[in-house]
């Protein structure tokens, strides 16, 4: 992998990326603290969509500051080469963690979901929808703290109307809310809450509530079927956890709690789990 040439930065290590972007650990010329560079792949740099996504990422990351959100440090978007600079977070993605361990303990899953919900609540208060909540976009530090990252799809209501009206689905199939799979699309912060519910379910069980072999099948299931209920999966599930997952996965977005309510409910769940496990409670 040939490193990008971004004035003021020395690429150190390739971290990954997708079809449009590459992500590198880099060191600024004027600092000793490493950062993360997100820049277009050479073959995609001329595409208008690429610059739009980078601008959205910079806008949301610079405007909304929260401990549970990846921190955008600066953006270089006035002229090529374009790049957005992030803090470097040590740890692994939740996706990699789940691949390694299969699933999390109930307490760990609640802890992760609550932290991500805090980040979403901050974005929603500022009028943004993340639009791509999934384990691959959650970083877990060695202490267990999490940060929601990747604001490329982050938008305000109505900004994607032309795309959605043309039939383009924004997000990742396994984490899409049902209302994003219908016509007309009903986008909004409730879709983030649904995706969080899918991720919470996955952390608890090691699988997703709409298991599908293809993206098309995942979308079709959401159009006509109910998600798997947590009680249908073997395990001793606390009532609060079952109800919390159900609430986030309700098919009608109007029936789901807002992210701030999810935070409150998960904090109560954490307290209940701590009481159950403490010697005094026994």
Of 29, 31, 96, 132, which one is the catalytic site residue?
Answer: 132
Q: How far is CA 109 from the centre of its chain?
A: 15
Closest by CA position to 222, among listed 187, 155, 175, 268: 175
150 in catalytic set:
no
Residues 6+ apart with CB under 8 A from 120: 130, 133, 148, 189, 192, 193, 196, 259, 262
Q: Where are the beta strands (DSSP E) in 102-180?
A: 138-140, 146-148
Closest by CA position to 116, among listed 227, 253, 260, 268: 260
Sign (positive/negative) of CA torsion 87, 89, 90, 96? negative
Closest by CA position to 69, among listed 24, 21, 128, 10: 128
Residues 6+ apart with CB under 8 A from 105: none
Q: What positions carry a catalytic annotation?
A: 132
């Amino acid at each position: 992998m040939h490193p990008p040439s971004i004035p003021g930065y020395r690429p150190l290590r390739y971290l990954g990326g997708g079809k449009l972007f590459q992500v590198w650990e880099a060191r600024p010329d004027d600092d000793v603290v490493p950062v993360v560079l997100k820049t277009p792949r050479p073959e995609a740099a001329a595409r208008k969509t690429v610059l739009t996504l980078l601008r959205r990422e910079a806008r949301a990351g610079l405007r909304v500051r929260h401990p549970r959100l990846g921190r955008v440090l600066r953006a270089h978007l006035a002229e090529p080469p374009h790049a957005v600079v992030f803090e470097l977070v040590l740890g692994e993605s939740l996706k990699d963690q789940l691949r390694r361990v299969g699933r999390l303990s109930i307490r760990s899953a609640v802890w992760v979901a609550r932290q991500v919900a805090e980040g979403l609540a901050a974005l929603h208060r500022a009028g943004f929808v993340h639009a791509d909540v999934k384990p691959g976009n959650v970083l877990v530090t060695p202490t267990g703290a999490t940060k929601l990252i990747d604001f490329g799809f982050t938008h305000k209501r109505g900004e994607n109307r032309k795309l959605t009206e043309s039939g383009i689905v924004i997000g990742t199939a396994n984490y899409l809310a049902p209302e994003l799979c219908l016509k007309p699309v009903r986008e909004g912060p409730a879709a983030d809450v649904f995706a969080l519910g899918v991720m919470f379910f996955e952390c608890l069980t090691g699988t997703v509530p709409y298991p599908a072999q293809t993206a098309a099948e995942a979308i079709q299931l959401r159009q006509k079927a109910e998600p798997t209920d947590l009680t249908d999966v073997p395990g001793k599930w606390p009532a609060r956890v079952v109800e919390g997952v159900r609430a986030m996965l309700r098919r009608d977005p109007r029936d789901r709690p807002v992210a701030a309510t999810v935070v409150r409910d998960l904090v109560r769940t954490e307290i209940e789990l701590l009481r159950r496990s403490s010697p005094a409670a026994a």
